[in-house]
Structure 1
Amino acid sequence: MAEWRPRVNNGYRPPSYRSEAGRREITLLVVMGACSILLWGSPYGGYLLYPFSILATWFHEMGHGLAALAFGYDFERLVIFQNGSGYALYTTTDSPSRLSQAMIAGAGLIGPTLAGCLLILASARRAATRSALVILGLVLIGSTLIWVRSMTGWIVLPLLGVASLAIAFKGREQWRRFAVQFLGVQGCISIYRDFGYLFSEGFVRGGQAQLSDTGVISQALFLPYWFWGGLITAMICAMVFWSLRRAHS
């Protein structure tokens, strides 16, 4: 199996996780994630992180929508409300199977972490860092044109996409690397913007009771919702740990 190794004379070399610089960088990423979670839970933190709250919802709902497409269903629209909540609507002519329901629900929980881990891994290579920012920017703008059907999404998501493209082409190498890592962290922790959601069976929206994603998985595959919440948490932790270690190896 081929393994990429940075040249000594090609500029930036990511610090190893065994080195002091590597440990400092990993610590900084963990601190950024913890601070974001704490700010989301504070009275005014949501205002400070508002664009990234919308980004977190986009990560989550795109996970649902893309999983629905993978099963051959129609991803009809993605709606993001002003308060940061949202939903992805998909339709099918047949009744969805239990497996597809569980996988689509789980994709909204695991998908954002997968995207975040890929961004963190991309920060290990200069060319990949720029490419990751370009791809993210284009996907943000493209998904807005194709699926987004809400004013909040129409305003915030293209702005984030343009900012990502601007950093990719105009930003310094250090800023590109920091941006990719920061956005990667936001993807990894996006599910914990509302930690209780992961360990709840359902919620009320518009006066109607609805199942949470773990509630849908529980209903489709049996076992209680808190079991799936714990399993998904363990998977997220393992994915983040592996990506951080791999990016600094």
Structure 2
Amino acid sequence: MNFSPKYKFWLMLFTAIIILQLPFISIPFKWLESYFHEISHGLTALLTGGSIVQIQLFPNGAGLCTTRGGSAFFISLMGYGGAILWGSLIFYLASSHRKTAQIFSLLLIGLLASSILLWVRDLLTLFIVVVLLMLVIVQLKYSSQKHLQTLLQLTGLLVLINSLMSPLYLLDGQAKGDGAALANMTFIPEIIWVVIWFSVALFATYRLSKLSLRSTR
């Protein structure tokens, strides 16, 4: 009787991995992880006394957040780190209560809409963020509260898996991106920062699996 609830997390994780391998279907979820990566840079800039100049997203899943002021160290650190936190937070809040899942969806809609109004400056990024906004609105409008929880849990895992794999692309020998920026600031090699992000994402996935198991007892 408990087979399905007990293994629900691993079934969703496997489903998320499969979705990320599918052409076209995986694209919006890669955009979503990229958005969370860039907005994390931006929000960190705001929290450390800086400002967001512009957020850009690209069709291949890359992105760029231009900031002014703030702590360069924490801004660079919290791109991948922030995406891990967002993925974990989405899954955790969706798991806690159906009403919480609804409220979080509304807050996410507000964040995406605010990004369009305040920090999007080009048509391509506008198109991508509008697609993400519509994705969240459709989930909220056409899902029952019960199904909304499952969809948000799956979305959180999709973001988390992307944040687990994305830092590995920094190991291309080009010394570009957040890892290279942190290496220049701290003299700690880029590969160490990649290992840290990868390990944190892996640990977050493990903790969510334990959380999911406890919720079935």
Q: TM-score range by the shorter chain?
A: 0.7 to 0.9
Aligned length: 213
| Contact map agreement 2:28 2:131 (CA 8 A) in 1 | no
Secondary structure of the 1:69 match is helix
> Deviations for 1:48-80, whole angstroms, at most 9, x for unmatched residues?
322222212111111111111111111110011
Change (3 A) 1:195 1:213: closer
| Contact map agreement 1:215 1:225 (CA 8 A) in 2 | yes
Secondary structure of the 2:7 match is helix
Give 2:121's aligned amino acid.
Answer: R
Q: What is the distance in 1 between the residues matched to 2:88 and 2:16?
A: 13
2:59 paired with 1:82: yes
For 1:86-165, what aligned pairs fall within 5 Å after superposition? 86-92=63-69, 100-124=71-95, 125-165=97-137
Larger Rg: 1
| Contact map agreement 2:165 2:198 (CA 8 A) in 1 | no
More helix by share: 2
Secondary structure of the 1:79 match is strand
2:189 paired with 1:218: no
> Deviations for 1:82-115, whole angstroms, at most 9, x for unmatched residues?
33322000113xxx6xxx3221111001101111
Structure 2 length normalisation: TM-score? 0.87
Structure 1 length normalisation: TM-score? 0.76
Q: What is the distance in 2 between the residues matched to 1:22 and 1:150?
A: 44
Change (3 A) 1:212 1:36: farther
- Identity among equivalent pairs (%): 20
Change (3 A) 1:230 1:215: same
Among 184, 199, 207, the alignment partner of 1:234 is 199
Unaligned runs of 5+ in 1: 1-14, 40-44, 204-210
| Contact map agreement 1:32 1:185 (CA 8 A) in 2 | no
Give the superposition deviation at 1:241. 1.8
Q: Which residue of 1 aligns with 2:7?
A: 24
Give the superposition deviation at 1:225. 0.9
Unaligned runs of 5+ in 2: none
> Deviations for 1:175-226, whole angstroms, at most 9, x for unmatched residues?
20222012111221233564532434646xxxxxxx2211111111222111
Change (3 A) 1:169 1:46: closer
Give 1:226's aligned amino acid.
Answer: I
| Contact map agreement 1:131 1:168 (CA 8 A) in 2 | no
Q: What is the distance in 2 between the residues matched to 1:27 and 1:172?
A: 23
Q: What is the distance in 1 between the residues matched to 2:186 and 2:169?
A: 19
2:36 paired with 1:59: yes
Secondary structure of the 2:65 match is strand
Q: What is the distance in 2 between the residues matched to 1:200 and 1:232?
A: 16
Among 181, 190, 204, the alignment partner of 2:153 is 181
| Contact map agreement 1:201 1:215 (CA 8 A) in 2 | no
Secondary structure of the 1:149 match is coil
Give the superposition deviation at 1:152. 2.5
Which of 102-111 and 194-203 deviates more?
Answer: 194-203
Give 2:33's aligned amino acid.
Answer: A
For 1:195-214, what aligned pairs fall within 5 Å after superposition? 196-200=168-172, 202=174, 211-214=176-179
Q: What is the distance in 2 between the residues matched to 1:190 and 1:130?
A: 24
Aligned-pair Cα RMSD in Å: 2.3
Q: Which residue of 2 aligns with 1:3?
A: none
